[in-house]
């Protein structure tokens, strides 16, 4: 009976030490999570679920909705313009301190390969680089995180992975040559 009590005491001590270690180890994470939006955990859970179900990170990063069969391209274009007007969205910004320019850093052949593999890349176009001049006249370049595209889900087919790695290399070259961060 004493052996059982000692074993339980040692087991209890082990779990107490494990609990204390966990509190100290994960407290910074819990403090950070407290700062997240109240819907962040559910959003990340849904993204993880989609990635697990599809094996494709792009499906978790986009919303895809089929257009009503009764509408054609012109109808959709008109609807987008109308909705933009209703929401007071202008096609071009009048603010002289604002500047946005998009660049394509892929060949048409690369774009076609990627889109033939997965049309979801239309919305998160890894070939797009965006240049923004902010209100303080600073220029910023925006790129998609290619690591998420390349490694964030199921293994890409060899040819697509090769193209994605080429895009990542171009982005790294741009960052190295024209951004302030030391690479």
What digits encode the pLDDT tens for the residues 137-146? 788 888 888 9
**Residue 89's pLDDT is what?**
63
Coil, helix or strand at residue 83: helix
pLDDT tens digits, one per residue of 61-106 = 887 777 787 877 778 777 777 877 776 765 433 444 457 888 888 8
Residue 4 belongs to some domain of the structure? no
Residue 50 belongs to some domain of the structure? yes
Coil, helix or strand at residue 76: helix
Residue 125 belongs to some domain of the structure? yes
Residue 140 belongs to some domain of the structure? yes
pLDDT tens digits, one per residue of 33-45 = 788 777 888 888 8
Q: Which domain holds residue 137?
A: 36-178
Cα separation, 135 vs 38, whole angstroms: 30
How many domains is the chain partitioned into structurally?
1
pLDDT reading at 56 higher than 80: yes
Residue 29 belongs to some domain of the structure? no
Coil, helix or strand at residue 182: coil
**Residue 181's pLDDT is what?**
67
List the beta bridge partners of residue 99.
133
- What DSSP state is assigned to residue 57? H
CB 164 within 8 A of CB 146: yes
Cα separation, 153 vs 47, whole angstroms: 11
Short-list 146, 168, 152, CA closest to 47: 152
**Residue 94's pLDDT is what?**
41
**Residue 98's pLDDT is what?**
58
pLDDT tens digits, one per residue of 145-156 = 898 888 877 888
Residue 16 belongs to some domain of the structure? no
User: Residue 153: CA atoms inside 13 Å, Cβ hemisphere, count?
Assistant: 20
pLDDT reading at 108 higher than 60: yes
Residue 73 belongs to some domain of the structure? yes
Residue 63 belongs to some domain of the structure? yes
Q: Whole-model pTM?
A: 0.63
Cα separation, 28 vs 44, whole angstroms: 19
CB-count exposure of residue 126 (10 Å: 0-12, 13-18, 19+)? buried
Report how far apart the first and last C-alpha atoms of the chain are (Å, whole number): 64
Cα separation, 43 vs 47, whole angstroms: 6
């Amino acid at each position: 009976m004493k052996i059982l009590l000692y074993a339980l005491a040692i087991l209890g001590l082990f779990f107490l030490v494990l609990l204390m270690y966990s509190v100290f180890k994960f407290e910074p994470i819990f403090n950070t999570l407290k700062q997240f939006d109240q819907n962040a955990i559910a959003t990340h859970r849904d993204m993880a679920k989609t990635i697990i179900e599809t094996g494709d990170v792009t499906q978790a990063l986009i919303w895809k909705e089929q257009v009503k069969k009764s509408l054609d391209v012109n109808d959709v274009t008109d609807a987008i313009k109308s909705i933009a007007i209703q929401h007071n969205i202008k096609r071009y910004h009048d603010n002289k301190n604002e500047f946005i320019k998009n660049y394509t850093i892929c060949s048409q052949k690369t774009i076609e390969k990627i889109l033939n593999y997965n049309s979801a890349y239309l919305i998160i176009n890894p070939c797009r680089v965006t240049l923004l001049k902010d209100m303080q006249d600073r220029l910023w370049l925006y790129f998609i995180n290619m690591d998420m595209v390349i490694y964030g889900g199921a293994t890409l087919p060899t040819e697509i992975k090769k193209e994605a790695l080429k895009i990542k290399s171009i982005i790294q070259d741009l960052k190295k040559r024209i951004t302030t961060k030391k690479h």
